[in-house]
């Protein structure tokens, strides 16, 4: 199955073959993979990945154990959508790479990969406002760089393979600890075949002024992307990490199943920002969780646009006193899409505070689901949770469901829950149209207004992108 074409450059035909749709992520380049694990998932697939990546024995063992867990665990269709059954694990390709090491300079990145990321605006963003960038193309990072001054301060920013090999002493104690292999079927899958993703370590007291960014790009059809990210913020440090994702629109389904673990040690602060814009055939099944120690703070700022099915419930375990956890999330489900998102807030120490604000928009036959879990045990005191989930339905056949599960034991806590469902009223539309906005523009404006207070939580550069994506989604989706 694998082939290599060292002469692959961008001839005219290729350029013309690239179909630029209205969504800027919808283009692909011919594959030129040196390493291809083939289709389907067996012990051999796992060994192939270990061999190619030259994994240490403990990782090989970790992967094989995980594969067993994955096989043993049933699909969670007892509570989740039946659409999960449509994932064909036998046709998915679990590892693809051109065999190149991540480059420190864009000039060294192969032409097709470079053009991909240039079209997505990554090098430009790096120059404008980022402290470091990692750009992953299918299974491996093509580019990875962090500002020299940060390296001097001891900041580590590399991919997971480099992390587990070269920084084992820091990496290994936390790896798989926030999200154990057996957390769910897809965390087990990721643990078996993970590749790429970021490893970040911020030393004590170091506060990054600019964000670090990772960009995950799927280029090949039937490909499964399984990046693995571990971020450790040592005592009193601060970091903002941003991730973006796109894939071209293929005929067949693509799987993205990441595991992201965050560790905020005493007094540290981690903000994790996601703007996902997967094409409408991607199954996006991601497990994200953070651990917040004493006085630490973990914030997930999450925007889910696109994909066929997204299941993602970022969580925070507040393990130290006065720890804070927050999930700010925006989801937009268009026809043929199901955004099943939410938050998990586990209070495990006194005086911990969590906040969940979720807004979803369902367009056409799109379906959005909020699933929340808040847990405050009896032996604690002074815990607080605030949960707000608001849904906006654009069309009469749009759908939204809310499943908030708030478990509070004992009487020394304070929780608050608010939920609302609204529609863009005929009166509001008429008013806006009377001012000269066509129906699509009016809907876009109404939707942007609905999520406006949350968009402000995103870094400025992302909020502009977010607004543009929403305008594109709303265009032609009304009537």
Partner 1 sequence: MSLHIQDLHATLEDGTEILKGVTLDIPQGEVHAIMGPNGSGKSTLSKVIAGNEGYVVTAGTVTLDGAEIFGMSTDERSRAGIFLAFQYPSEVPGVSNANFIRAALQARLPKGVDIDAVAYYKNLYAKMDLLEMDRKFTARAVNEGFSGGEKKRNEILQMMMLEPKYCILDETDSGLDIDALKIVAKGVNAMRSPERGMLLITHYQRLLDYIKPDHVHVMAEGRIVRSGGPELAHELEKYGYDFLKEAAFA
Strand partners, 386: 355, 416
Q: Which stretch binds partner 1 (CB under 8 A): 17-25, 365-373, 401-409, 426-434?
A: 426-434
Q: Which stretch binds partner 1 (CB under 8 A): 29-37, 60-68, 370-378, 448-456?
A: 448-456
Rounded to a whole number of angstroms, the minimum distance from the CB of residue 431 to partner 1 is 4
CB of 93 closer than 8 Å to CB of 223: yes
Regarding 427 and contact with partner 1 (CB under 8 A), the answer is yes
Closer CB to partner 1, 247 or 432, in the complex: 432
CB of 207 closer than 8 Å to CB of 240: no
Rounded to a whole number of angstroms, the minimum distance from the CB of residue 301 to partner 1 is 18
Polymer length of the chain: 479
Q: Which stretch binds partner 1 (CB under 8 A): 43-51, 250-258, 297-305, 432-440?
A: 432-440
Q: What are phi and psi of 16, to 5 degrees?
A: -70, -30
Distances (CA, A) of 452 to 281, 380, 402, 403, 465: 28, 35, 21, 24, 13
Closer CB to partner 1, 42 or 420, in the complex: 420
CB of 92 closer than 8 Å to CB of 255: yes
> Which string of x and - marks every residue 370-409 that binds partner 1 (by CB under 8 A)?
----------------------------------------
Q: Tokens 């192939």, residue?
A: 48
Q: Which stretch binds partner 1 (CB under 8 A): 6-14, 64-72, 83-91, 433-441?
A: 433-441
Q: Which stretch binds partner 1 (CB under 8 A): 63-71, 102-110, 147-155, 431-439?
A: 431-439
Rounded to a whole number of angstroms, the minimum distance from the CB of residue 372 to partner 1 is 23
Measured between alpha carbons, how far is 77 from 90 in angstroms, rounded to an integer? 19
Closer CB to partner 1, 230 or 445, in the complex: 445
Regarding 460 and contact with partner 1 (CB under 8 A), the answer is no
Closer CB to partner 1, 74 or 436, in the complex: 436
Closer CB to partner 1, 269 or 359, in the complex: 359
Q: Which stretch binds partner 1 (CB under 8 A): 25-33, 110-118, 288-296, 442-450?
A: 442-450
Closer CB to partner 1, 85 or 427, in the complex: 427
Regarding 451 and contact with partner 1 (CB under 8 A), the answer is yes
Q: Could you say which of 41, 233, 446, 474 contacts partner 1 (CB under 8 A)?
A: 446
Q: What are phi and psi of 172, to 5 degrees?
A: -65, -40
Closer CB to partner 1, 172 or 467, in the complex: 467
Q: Tokens 């999960």, residue?
A: 84
Residue 311 corresponds to which tokens in the numbers above? 């299941």
Q: Tokens 């999200």, residue?
A: 179
Rounded to a whole number of angstroms, the minimum distance from the CB of residue 302 to partner 1 is 19
**Maximum distance among all Cα pairs of the chain, rounded to whole angstroms:** 70
Regarding 423 and contact with partner 1 (CB under 8 A), the answer is no
> Judging by DSSP bridges, how do beta strands 35-36 and 96-97 pair with one another?
antiparallel
Residue 305 corresponds to which tokens in the numbers above? 């646009």
Q: Which stretch binds partner 1 (CB under 8 A): 145-153, 216-224, 244-252, 443-451?
A: 443-451
Q: Which stretch binds partner 1 (CB under 8 A): 214-222, 223-231, 310-318, 430-438?
A: 430-438
Measured between alpha carbons, how far is 293 from 310 in angstroms, rounded to an integer? 29
Full DSSP string of 120-180: TTHHHHHHHH-SEEEEEETTEEEEEEE-HHHHHTT-EEEEHHHHHHHSHHHHHHHTTTSS-
Q: Could you say which of 2, 4, 9, 425 contacts partner 1 (CB under 8 A)?
A: 425
Count the Cβ atoms, other than its own, within 10 Å of residue 4. Answer: 13
DSSP H or E run through 61: helix 57-72
Q: Could you say which of 15, 19, 124, 431 contacts partner 1 (CB under 8 A)?
A: 431
Task: Count residues near partner 1 (CB under 8 A).
Answer: 24
Burial class (CB in 10 A: 0-12, 13-18, 19+), 428: middle
Q: Tokens 């759908």, residue?
A: 399
Q: Could you say which of 30, 99, 205, 449 contacts partner 1 (CB under 8 A)?
A: 449
Q: HSE, CB side, 13 Å, CA atoms: give it for residue 461.
A: 17
Rounded to a whole number of angstroms, the minimum distance from the CB of residue 16 to partner 1 is 24
Regarding 137 and contact with partner 1 (CB under 8 A), the answer is no
Measured between alpha carbons, how far is 220 from 31 in angstroms, rounded to an integer? 7
What 3-state class would DSSP assign to 276?
strand
Measured between alpha carbons, how far is 227 from 255 in angstroms, rounded to an integer? 11
Q: Could you say which of 96, 394, 445, 478 contacts partner 1 (CB under 8 A)?
A: 445
Rounded to a whole number of angstroms, the minimum distance from the CB of residue 446 to partner 1 is 7
Strand partners, 415: 385
Q: Could you say which of 210, 448, 457, 472 contacts partner 1 (CB under 8 A)?
A: 448
Q: Could you say which of 182, 439, 457, 463 contacts partner 1 (CB under 8 A)?
A: 439
Query: Footprint of partner 1 on this chain (CB under 8 A)?
Result: 425-428, 430-439, 441-442, 445-446, 448-453
């Amino acid at each position: 199955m694998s082939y290599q074409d060292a002469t692959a450059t961008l001839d005219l035909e290729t350029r013309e073959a690239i179909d630029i749709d209205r969504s800027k992520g919808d283009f692909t380049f011919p594959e030129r993979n040196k390493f291809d694990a083939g289709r389907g998932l067996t012990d051999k697939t796992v060994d192939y990945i270990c061999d190619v990546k030259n994994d240490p024995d403990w990782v090989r063992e970790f992967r094989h154990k995980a594969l067993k867990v994955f096989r043993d665990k049933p699909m969670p269709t007892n509570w989740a959508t039946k659409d999960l059954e449509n994932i064909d694990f036998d046709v998915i390709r679990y590892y693809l790479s051109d065999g190149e090491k991540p480059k420190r300079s864009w000039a060294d990145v192969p032409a097709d990969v470079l053009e991909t990321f240039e079209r997505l605006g990554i090098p430009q963003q790096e120059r404008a406002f980022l402290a470091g960038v990692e750009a992953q193309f299918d299974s491996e990072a093509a580019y990875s760089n962090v500002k020299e001054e940060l390296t001097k301060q001891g900041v580590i920013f590399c991919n997971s393979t480099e992390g587990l090999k070269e920084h084992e002493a820091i990496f290994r104690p936390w790896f798989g600890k926030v999200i154990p292999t057996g957390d769910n079927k897809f965390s087990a899958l990721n643990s078996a075949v993970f590749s790429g993703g970021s490893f970040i370590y911020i030393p004590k007291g170091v506060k990054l002024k600019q964000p670090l960014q990772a960009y995950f790009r799927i280029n090949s059809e039937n490909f499964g992307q399984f990046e693995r990210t571990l971020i450790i913020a040592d005592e009193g440090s601060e970091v903002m990490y941003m991730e973006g994702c796109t894939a071209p629109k293929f005929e067949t389904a693509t799987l993205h199943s990441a595991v992201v673990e965050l560790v905020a040690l005493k007094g540290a602060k981690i903000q994790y920002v996601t703007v996902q814009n997967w094409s409408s055939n991607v199954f996006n099944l991601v497990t994200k969780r953070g651990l917040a120690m004493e006085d630490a703070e973990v914030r997930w700022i999450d925007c889910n646009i696109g994909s066929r099915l997204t299941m993602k419930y970022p969580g925070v375990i507040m393990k130290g006193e006065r720890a804070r956890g927050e999930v700010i999330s925006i989801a937009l489900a268009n026809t043929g899409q199901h955004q099943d998102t939410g938050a998990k807030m586990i209070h495990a120490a006194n005086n911990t505070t969590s906040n969940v604000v979720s807004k979803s928009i369902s367009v056409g036959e799109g379906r959005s689901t909020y699933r929340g879990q808040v847990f405050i045990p009896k032996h604690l005191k002074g815990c607080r949770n605030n949960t707000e989930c608001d849904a906006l339905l654009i069309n009469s056949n749009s759908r939204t469901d809310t499943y908030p599960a708030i478990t509070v034991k004992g009487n020394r806590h304070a929780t608050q829950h608010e939920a609302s469902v609204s529609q863009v009223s005929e009166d509001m539309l008429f008013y806006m149209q009377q001012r000269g906005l066509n129906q699509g523009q009016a809907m876009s404006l109404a939707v942007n207004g609905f999520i406006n207070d949350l968009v402000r939580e995103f870094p400025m550069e992302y909020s502009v992108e977010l607004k543009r994506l929403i305008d594109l989604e709303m265009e032609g989706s009304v009537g």
